[in-house]
Amino acid sequence: MVRSATEVEITPPEPMSGQVSGAGMLVRKATSPGQLILSALLPGAGHIVRGEWVGGMVLAICWSILLGVAFLTVDRITAVFTAPRIPADGVLALVTLGGLLIGVWAWAMYDLIVRSKRPVKRFGDSQWAIASRQFRKNRLAMAGLAVMLVLYVVTLLTPLIAPFDPTAQGNIVLTRYQEPSLQHLMGTDKFGRDVFSRVLYGARISLTIGFIAVAIGVLVGAAVGAIAGYFGKWTDTVLMRFTDMMLSFPRLILLIVVIALFEPSIWLVVVVLGLTGWMSVARIVRGEVLSLREREFVQAAKVLGMSDARIILRHVLPNVLAPVIVYSTLTIGNTILVEASLSFLGLGVQPPTPSWGNMISDGRDALLTAWWISTFPGLVIVFTVTAFNLLGDGLRDALDPRLRT
Amino acid sequence: MISYLLRRLLGSIPLLLGILTLIFFIINIAPGDPTARYFNPNVSPEVIEQMRRNLGLDQPLHIQYFRWLTAFAQGDFGHSFGQMRPISEILPTVLWNTIQLMLVSIVLIFALGMLIGIIQAVRQYSIVDNVLTFLALFFYSMPSFWLALMLILIFSLKASQWGWGLQFPASQMTSVGYEFMSGGQQFTDRLMHMIMPAIALGVGSAAGVARYMRGSMLEVVHQDYIRTARAKGLSERKVIFKHALRNALIPIVTLVGLYLPYLLSGSVLVETIFAWPGMGRLIVDSIFQRDYPLVMATSFIAAALVVLGNLLADVLYAVVDPRIRAE
């Protein structure tokens, strides 16, 4: 590269001296060996002794709950090893449990040994560091995040913690339509199946479908939006007309038409949900790309002779990540709702596989005599979707500089 | 204004054409064809073949497509296999039933949503604001079909079990003896049947409107002319409802178009639960009966309603905001 002769002398900005105000970095005390030993025995105890209450309590509670789960389900854990055919979900649950236990312990030690010695930050933060600080200040959003994490952990641990087999029918005459009690937390349904266990297993289906469908939708939408916005002209016109067209279909109607014409199955539902959920992402990405395309760094990349694919993937798309992340979190909740609606109509997950939607539909037969069958899965849906929406709102507030106050 | 309207109308024609094309190809890609419902050992293959020829299914796809398109353009939606009568005969009553329900629901959505949004904006960051924000989020996250079931459970089934004075009917549009009632009774009867479906359909969207209204109102309240109005000594009520509300309403108007697809999707579920004889239930029924012409007609009408709703929202937007017209 040849520099121009009239090089303007640019003075580099003064490095900010001292502590950046509002960065929230406090000098932490050095760790004593006693605290380390305490932490090795009970993660978090070391932090509490040091006076770092919040972190310590969270670590200690997580550790105790995980250990409690491990001890209470010893029978099932040994059953996984002695089973004639190794059950895949049992192994997955064990790996999760073990991984989380090691993770909590290792984090407590790492935080005490390495992180407490880190020097105080002297310079400004990156965009993501500012956003994460903003996010942590938002209590509702943190609650949403916690609920989401707990939900996914519970989902993975379901085979260990579900009290009953979700499809075991038991004695139909004696155990059907039992009211919620200590033995059956959410009662039993018309086949005598435990509603609580079915809700736990249903969480697996619903959360997985929500996650994968949104991932498909975001990938397709980002591709369409980036191509339309970057190349412009007729490519843009054609793609955006198509997007408008897809947006004019009431989504549920499009979904039931497509799914009913083929055979309903979980995979069809996931794919079709993904392929009907990309339009908003495409619009968001296109809007951002349109303005990014004119910016100097993209122009510079073009002048340097980079290929279009490289410019889009390496230079343009990373800059639209923030709104896309916000949108996808907000839309996971909505996708879970749509999946539940489909299963409710009998077009989503097929019985006997439990999903929240088809459980609510099951309860319709005996709404008055056994209100609990429909009520609890619905409450769980509301709870989950609220958590995702809180998380999404918090992310939006944190990631959008215009909303920061 | 008129040229703007015309431009918008012309712009939606290719959109409708695209929607028609999409519907046609989705239905044609799917395995099986309309004669599948007649397959059975008593029907000889020749008869099926004759049937296919009568329906024009032996023609190449593009010919079928253009014949279907011209028929549609002339308002001929074909015959329903399930109900054995022309679709143009079925549609009007069914469509009107759905539109009734949706209109009541839209009134509910905007009245409730705007009221809550205004209260929140006026009392920003107060306890009332926080509680309402959380409640709105709660209802926004609620599946409409579950809300419908809970409404039925409490206000219809349990209400009669516990002997409440007031209980709402859980299904249909009218009671059994509807024809023998007087005018006033008929009206209340219809209203009673409509309340629960309209609530189940609208509450989620009302929560959405409340969130938009809060944001839009807060943006306006911090502008200079509001400070001027306050400085003039106007009462707070006048400042909010006369000066602030007018400008805060501009972005809300576009929500009519935005929520229409949601309402139509919701009506599929709510109408199925409340046995409401409308479009949503017709779509579900026709899908399960493999009544292809009816599926194509109803899904087109649904999409066309959305296009129309968006057009209406744009026009309303142009009416309330002169800046749009000038472009």
CA distance B9 to B12: 5
- Asked if B262 lies within 8 A of A250 by C-beta distance, the reply is yes
Q: What is the pLDDT of residue A351?
A: 80
CA distance A377 to A56: 34
Q: Does A242 touch chain B (CB under 8 A)?
A: yes
Q: CB–CB of B116/B323 below 8 Å?
A: no
Mean pLDDT for the stretch of residues B47-55: 80
- Asked if B138 lies within 8 A of A244 by C-beta distance, the reply is no
Q: What residues 90-129 of chain B have any CB closer than 8 A to a CB of chain A?
A: none
Q: Which of B133, B138, B145 to mutate to test the interface with A (most CBs of A within 10 A)?
A: B145
Residues of chain A contacting B261 with CB distance shorter than 8 Å: 247-251
Residue A247 tokens read as 């947006």
Q: What residues 122-181 of chain B have any CB closer than 8 A to a CB of chain A?
A: 134, 137-138, 140-146, 149-150, 152-153, 157-158, 161
Q: How many CA atoms lie within 13 A of B34 on its CB side?
A: 22
Give the torsion through C-alpha atoms of A106, A107, A108, A109, to 10 deg.
50
Q: What is the pLDDT of residue A214?
A: 93
Residues of chain B contacting A239 with CB distance shorter than 8 Å: none
* B79: three-class secondary structure by DSSP: strand
Phi, psi of B79 (to 5 degrees): -105, 140
Shortest CA gap A44–chain B (Å): 32
- Asked if A257 lies within 8 A of B295 by C-beta distance, the reply is yes
| Global pTM value | 0.85
What chain A residue is nearest to B310 in terms of C-alpha separation? A248
- Asked if A360 lies within 8 A of B145 by C-beta distance, the reply is yes
- Asked if A390 lies within 8 A of B146 by C-beta distance, the reply is no
* A150: three-class secondary structure by DSSP: helix
Nearest to B216 by CA among B238, B256, B246: B246
CA distance A5 to A71: 74
End-to-end CA distance of chain A: 43
User: Residue type at B163?
Assistant: G
Shortest CA gap A29–chain B (Å): 37
Residue A260 tokens read as 């009913």
Kindly tell me the burial class for residue B191, based on how many C-beta atoms sit within 10 Å of its own C-beta (0-12, 13-18, 19 or more): exposed
Residue B154 tokens read as 């409490």
- Asked if B143 lies within 8 A of A262 by C-beta distance, the reply is no
Query: Residue B289: pLDDT above 90?
Result: no
Percent helix / strand / coil, chain A, rounded to 5? 70, 0, 30
Residues of chain B contacting A256 with CB distance shorter than 8 Å: 268, 283-284, 287
Q: What is the pLDDT of residue A373?
A: 86
Q: Given the structure tokens 């004639």, which residue do they identify?
A: A84
* A188: three-class secondary structure by DSSP: strand
Beta-carbon contacts of A199 under 8 Å, excluding residues fewer than 6 positions away, are: A186, A354, A356, A359, A376, A377, A380
Q: Percentage of chain B surpassing pLDDT 90? A: 7
Q: What is the pLDDT of residue A216?
A: 94
Q: What is the pLDDT of residue A217?
A: 93
End-to-end CA distance of chain B: 11
Shortest CA gap B18–chain A (Å): 7
CA distance A229 to B240: 40
DSSP for A321-340, please give it: HHHHHHHHHHHHHHHHHHHH
DSSP for A96-134, please give it: HHHHHHHHHHHHHHHHHHTGGGPPPP-SPPPHHHHHHHH
Q: Given the structure tokens 């949601």, which residue do they identify?
A: B262
Residues of chain B contacting A261 with CB distance shorter than 8 Å: 26-27, 30-32, 287
Phi, psi of A204 (to 5 degrees): -55, -50
Beta-carbon contacts of B315 under 8 Å, excluding residues fewer than 6 positions away, are: B5, B8
- Asked if B143 lies within 8 A of A341 by C-beta distance, the reply is yes
Q: Does B65 touch chain A (CB under 8 A)?
A: no
pLDDT in tens, B216-271: 888 888 888 888 888 988 888 888 888 888 888 888 887 887 788 888 888 889 99
- Asked if A256 lies within 8 A of B14 by C-beta distance, the reply is no
CA distance B290 to A181: 44
CA distance A149 to A144: 9
What chain B residue is nearest to A333 in terms of C-alpha separation? B141
Query: Residue B32: pLDDT above 50?
Result: yes
- Asked if A363 lies within 8 A of B143 by C-beta distance, the reply is no
Q: Helix H segments across chain B?
A: 2-29, 45-55, 61-73, 87-122, 127-140, 144-151, 159-161, 183-221, 224-231, 236-238, 245-253, 255-274, 279-288, 292-320, 322-326
Strand partners, A194: A188
Q: Given the structure tokens 């929140």, which residue do they identify?
A: B120
User: Residue type at A384?
Assistant: T
- Asked if A249 lies within 8 A of B31 by C-beta distance, the reply is no
Q: What is the pLDDT of residue B105?
A: 92
Q: Given the structure tokens 């004759």, which residue do they identify?
A: B50
Residues of chain B contacting A375 with CB distance shorter than 8 Å: 150, 153
User: Residue type at A287?
Assistant: G
Give, in degrees to the nearest 5, the angle at Cα A122 between A120 and A128. Answer: 95
Task: Find how far residue A351's CA is from the centre of its chain.
Answer: 26
Least confident of A311-315, B55-59, B97-101: B55-59
Q: What residues 297-336 of chain A have any CB closer than 8 A to a CB of chain B?
A: 333
Confidence of residue B317 (pLDDT cuts 50, 70, 90): confident
Mean pLDDT for the stretch of residues B89-102: 88
Reported ipTM: the value is 0.86
Q: What residues 10-39 of chain B have any CB closer than 8 A to a CB of chain A?
A: 14-15, 18-19, 22, 26-27, 30-32
Q: What is the pLDDT of residue A6?
A: 47
Query: Residue B6: pLDDT above 80?
Result: yes
Q: What is the pLDDT of residue A20?
A: 46
CA distance A213 to B33: 29
Q: How many CA atoms lie within 13 A of A363 on its CB side?
A: 33
Give, in degrees to the nearest 5, the angle at Cα A163 between A158 and A165. Answer: 80
Residue B110 tokens read as 């905007």
Query: Residue B122: pLDDT above 70?
Result: yes
- Asked if B287 lies within 8 A of A374 by C-beta distance, the reply is no
What does the pLDDT profile of chain A (405 residues) look like in tens digits?
444 444 445 555 555 444 444 444 455 677 777 778 877 778 877 778 777 777 788 888 888 888 888 888 777 778 777 777 777 777 888 888 889 888 888 888 887 777 776 665 656 667 777 778 878 888 888 888 888 888 888 888 888 777 777 777 766 677 777 778 777 777 777 777 888 888 888 888 888 888 899 999 999 999 999 899 888 888 888 898 889 888 888 888 888 888 888 877 888 889 999 998 899 899 989 988 888 888 888 888 888 988 888 888 888 888 888 888 888 888 898 899 999 999 998 888 888 888 898 889 888 888 888 888 888 999 999 999 999 988 888 888 888 766 554
Q: Does B308 touch chain A (CB under 8 A)?
A: no
